[in-house]
């Protein structure tokens, strides 16, 4: 195949910035690379492989001659422009939630369900950050032992909410350091920029990510529930989730409880993780070794530890799962999808 022309939509965002880094180090044979953003960001410059590039305004014709378009500029932008990109012959990897539950759109974690890529009609959806890392950890267990249920509580970083949320937490942190009273800390983004009320995150835990939907669950929680079943291709797995934002910049942590069909020892489960693609076992209580959000930053892998059996339930197992939400949770998984499609000759 000729070299691939790539467009990044939302190049200035928290995820877009990481997509550029992942693409710089990608095995894809790159032709031209375009950086697209809103009118507001058009004309700004950024560096790609040491060369200065100018951001262009996103319009439908931006996708002429483009083979691969990576979208991370919000669901509304994807809804409007992804079909335009497909119409012009591009394959779209979309990091927003817009197309994820569309039955005609593959929802892919390359370590878990790469074969789903063959069914694409131009758009491939990148799952939610908190779902992806859980899938990397659970798929090897599901394959070996079967998976009956998942109960997850997340400890999510602010970077998943974008650059303004990162700055909001940083400012509250500086306010603390300057001994500014709590009542004067400003919050206008978190927990959900589109929602009515905003609360400080510094030295707090906010049990709301995205807006509330049916049954008292947030959209983020429904994403984990529904996407898990779609990616694993099994609607019979029971899944429930509690999603919580904590004062961490990057690196999502998850307390994952599962029940398997077959029983296994901790050592056997550790071995499954150690041999799983994309996963790294960090699990030695005697040496205080377990995954930590701060250690995950900048790494593509998903780190798994604290593996242990429920003392009262034979098939119950706990895991502590950590990954850089901007990388495996977003930018890296998107670029990895493109690399996987390239290796599967799906760009022909």
Residue ranges binding a copy of itself (CB under 8 A): 149, 151, 153, 155, 170, 173-174, 176-178, 182, 191, 195-197, 199-200, 203-208, 212, 215-217, 225, 238-240, 242, 244, 246-249, 251, 253, 255, 257, 266, 285-288, 290-294, 305-313, 316, 318, 320
Angstrom distances, CA of residue 246 to CA of 4, 209, 291, 301: 39, 10, 16, 21
Please check if 12 is assigned to a binding site: yes
Please say which residue, 30 or 151, places its beta carbon nearer to a copy of itself. 151
Min dist. Cβ of residue 265 to a copy of itself (A): 11
- Known active-site residue 243: no
C-alpha span between 206 and 162 (Å, rounded): 16
Residue 233 phi, psi dihedral angles, 5° rounding: 65, 35
C-alpha span between 268 and 185 (Å, rounded): 48
Please check if 41 is assigned to a binding site: yes
Place of tokens 């899944």: 239
Min dist. Cβ of residue 3 to a copy of itself (A): 39
Q: Which among 289, 314, 318 is positioned nearest to 141, based on CA atoms?
A: 318
C-alpha span between 281 and 273 (Å, rounded): 6
Please say which residue, 189 or 246, places its beta carbon nearer to a copy of itself. 246
**Neighbouring residues of 312: CB distance < 8 A, sequence distance ≥ 6:** none
- Residue by residue, what is the 3-state secondary structure of 46-92? EEECCEEEECEECCHHHHCCCCEEEECCCHHHHHHHHHHHHHCCCEE
Min dist. Cβ of residue 290 to a copy of itself (A): 5
- Known active-site residue 129: yes
Angstrom distances, CA of residue 46 to CA of 77, 124, 203, 216: 21, 27, 34, 42
Please check if 14 is assigned to a binding site: yes
Please check if 160 is assigned to a binding site: yes
Please say which residue, 94 or 221, places its beta carbon nearer to a copy of itself. 221
Min dist. Cβ of residue 291 to a copy of itself (A): 8
Please check if 291 is assigned to a binding site: no
Please say which residue, 92 or 206, places its beta carbon nearer to a copy of itself. 206
Please say which residue, 299 or 306, places its beta carbon nearer to a copy of itself. 306
Q: CA torsion sign, 21 to 24 to 27 to 31?
A: positive
Min dist. Cβ of residue 199 to a copy of itself (A): 6
Please check if 156 is assigned to a binding site: yes
Min dist. Cβ of residue 154 to a copy of itself (A): 9
Give the N- to C-terminal CA distance of the chain in Å, as an integer: 7
C-alpha span between 155 and 325 (Å, rounded): 11
Q: Which of 98, 120, 243, 252 is catalytic?
A: 252
Q: Which of 98, 120, 129, 243 is catalytic?
A: 129
Please say which residue, 78 or 128, places its beta carbon nearer to a copy of itself. 128
Q: CA torsion sign, 293 to 294 to 300 to 304?
A: negative
C-alpha span between 287 and 290 (Å, rounded): 9
Known binding-site residues equal 12-15, 40-41, 100, 156, 159-160, 181, 245, 325
Known binding-site residues for NADP(+) equal 12-15, 40-41, 159-160, 181, 325
Known binding-site residues for phosphate equal 100
| Catalytic residue IDs | 129, 252
């Amino acid at each position: 195949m000729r070299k691939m022309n790539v467009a990044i939509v939302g190049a200035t965002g928290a995820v877009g910035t990481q997509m550029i880094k992942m693409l710089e180090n990608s095995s894809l044979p790159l032709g031209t690379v375009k950086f697209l953003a809103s009118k507001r960001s058009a004309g700004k410059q950024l560096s790609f492989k040491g060369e200065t590039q100018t951001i262009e305004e996103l319009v439908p014709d931006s996708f002429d001659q483009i083979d691969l378009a990576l979208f991370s500029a919000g669901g509304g932008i994807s809804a409007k422009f992804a079909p335009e990109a497909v119409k012009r012959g591009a394959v779209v990897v979309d990091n927003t939630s817009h197309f994820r539950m569309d039955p005609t759109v593959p929802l892919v974690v390359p370590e878990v369900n790469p074969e789903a890529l063959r069914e694409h009609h131009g758009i491939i959806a990148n799952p939610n950050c908190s779902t992806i890392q859980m899938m990397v950890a659970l798929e090897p267990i599901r394959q070996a032992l079967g998976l009956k249920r998942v109960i997850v509580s997340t400890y999510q970083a602010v970077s998943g909410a974008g650059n303004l949320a990162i700055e909001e937490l940083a400012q509250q942190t500086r306010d603390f350091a300057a001994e500014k009273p709590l009542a004067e800390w400003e919050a206008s983004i978190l927990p959900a920029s589109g929602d009515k009320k905003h609360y400080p995150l510094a030295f707090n835990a906010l049990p709301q990510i995205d807006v509330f939907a049916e049954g008292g669950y947030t959209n983020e929680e429904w994403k984990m529930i529904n996407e898990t079943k779609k990616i694993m291709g099994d609607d019979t797995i029971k899944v429930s989730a509690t999603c919580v934002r904590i004062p961490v910049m990057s690196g999502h942590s998850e307390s994952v409880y599962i029940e398997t069909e077959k029983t296994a020892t901790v050592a056997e489960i550790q071995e499954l993780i150690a041999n799983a693609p994309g996963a790294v076992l960090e699990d030695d209580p005697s040496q205080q070794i377990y995954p930590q959000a701060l250690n995950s930053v900048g790494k593509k892998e998903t780190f798994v530890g604290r593996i242990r059996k429920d003392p009262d339930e034979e098939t119950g197992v706990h895991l502590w799962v950590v990954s850089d939400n901007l990388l495996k949770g977003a930018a890296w998984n998107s670029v990895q999808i493109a690399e996987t499609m390239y290796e599967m000759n799906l760009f022909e």
